[in-house]
Amino acid sequence: MKFKKYLMFLVVAALAVVLVACGGDKEENNDASGNNGSDVENTNNGSDNNANEGDSQELEGEVAIDGSGTVYPLMSRIAEEYMTNEQEGVSVTVARAGTSAGFEKFLQENGTDFNDASRYIKDEEQAKADELGIEVKELKVALDGLTIVTHPDNDWATELTPEQVISIFKGDYVNWSDINADWPNEKIQTYGPNENHGTYEFFYETIMEEQDLVSDINLQQEYSTLVTLVGEDVNSIGFFGFGYYDSNKEKLNAVSIDFGDGPVEPSLDTIAEDGDYAGFTRPVFTYLNVNNAKEKPEVLDFAIYVMENNNRLAGETGFAPIPEEEAKSLADELKALQ
């Protein structure tokens, strides 16, 4: 009898252990579900995906840019990153006909979406835009330092004043020795970009104050050609944007300019509208066809991307950044067009 009672006790005890174990498994599973948050996680993932789709809509289409050869390295770099990281379905083409030639392509029916410019838009260009009913928006993207370059073996004309630069390019000095008797008695050969480029117009209008350039100056369409010509002629002196010097330092010398307080070498630290190299510093732009931006979401999206990333990429392509508040203000104005 006692044995039967003992046996029943063991059975009851075993059942109790099994029940507790089952209950424990159930509780453990509940905890795991809570910790993994599978339901919440799925809900959050859905919400995040929807939010991302709203913030960055997938776009398709084409964006056409032409204009300044000086601004080209920056805009092509931005375009490359945009197509790779932001909108793979959008094709952004960047050409470099020059500022003035670019405006001709921009200011016509079915013209380009953007025109890069190394100078401000001219009154007659704005008048043509008004005549065509094209709303144009100026976007300041960076600061450039006009750079005077010489052959790498030129160890005499390492410092010049603005007045000496003007006299060289006017032809007042024929030989180097005309500037300094200790310099070589060799003819100076001048080089620069041609009239299609805003850099030429900036140099002629702002630096030269519209005084005629020396008659035998060698003007070229391609900046790469200018780099080669100056780099092969020991008596050369030329001018173009800082970025083309910065990416060819092994082929060229940059002349330091003495604006009155000692010679200043162009660099990303000195190029600024209120800095040491201010005398040869200029803003550079891209001009947006607002009509196209309102009709083509990809054009407006790219414009916003430009103003949100120009300062980050400026230094990589030989430009100094604009003040951050200026870039943000322009980006906000563009977003208001959405």
C-alpha span between 126 and 111 (Å, rounded):
15
Following CA atoms 249, 141, 166, 226 in sequence, which dihedral angle do they give, to the nearest 10 degrees? 40
Backbone angles phi, psi at 153, to 5 degrees: -90, 0
| 121 SS3 class | coil
**Which pLDDT band holds residue 56 (cuts at 50, 70, 90)?**
low
Q: Nearest to residue 319, comparing CAs of 241, 206, 229?
A: 241
Q: How many CA atoms lie within 13 A of 151 on its CB side?
A: 15
Task: Sketch the domain layout of the chain as residue ranges.
Answer: 61-143+282-335, 144-281
Residue 93, CA distances (Å) to 83, 180, 210, 277 in order? 10, 48, 34, 33
At residue 60, the pLDDT reads: 96
CATH topology of domain 61-143+282-335: D-Maltodextrin-Binding Protein; domain 2 (3.40.190)
**CA–CA–CA angle 312, 316, 322 (5° rounding):** 45
Mean pLDDT of 25-38: 35
Report the run of H or E that residue 66 belongs to, with start and end: strand 61-67
**Which pLDDT band holds residue 57 (cuts at 50, 70, 90)?**
confident
For domain 144-281, say whether CATH 3.30.479.30 is its number: no
Same fold flag, 61-143+282-335 and 144-281? yes
Q: Which residues contact 4 (CB under 8 A, 6 or more apart)?
A: none
Residue 63 has pLDDT above 60, yes or no: yes
Residue 244 has pLDDT above 60, yes or no: yes
Structure tokens at 266: 């162009």
At residue 250, the pLDDT reads: 97
C-alpha span between 252 and 152 (Å, rounded):
5
149 - beta bridge partners? 238, 254
| 145 SS3 class | strand
Mean pLDDT of 306-314: 98
Where are the extended beta strands (E) located within 203-338?
218-220, 236-241, 253-254, 256-258, 263-264, 281-289
| 118 SS3 class | coil
Q: Model's pTM, two decimal places? A: 0.81
237 - beta bridge partners? 150, 190
pLDDT tens figures, 274-294:
999 999 999 999 999 999 999
Is the separation of the CB atoms in 262 and 159 below 8 Å?
A: no
Residue 22 has pLDDT above 50, yes or no: no
Q: Nearest to residue 322, comparing CAs of 141, 88, 191, 164?
A: 141
pLDDT tens figures, 178-225:
999 999 999 999 999 999 999 999 999 999 999 999 999 999 999 999
Residue 165, CA distances (Å) to 15, 226, 230 in order? 103, 18, 16
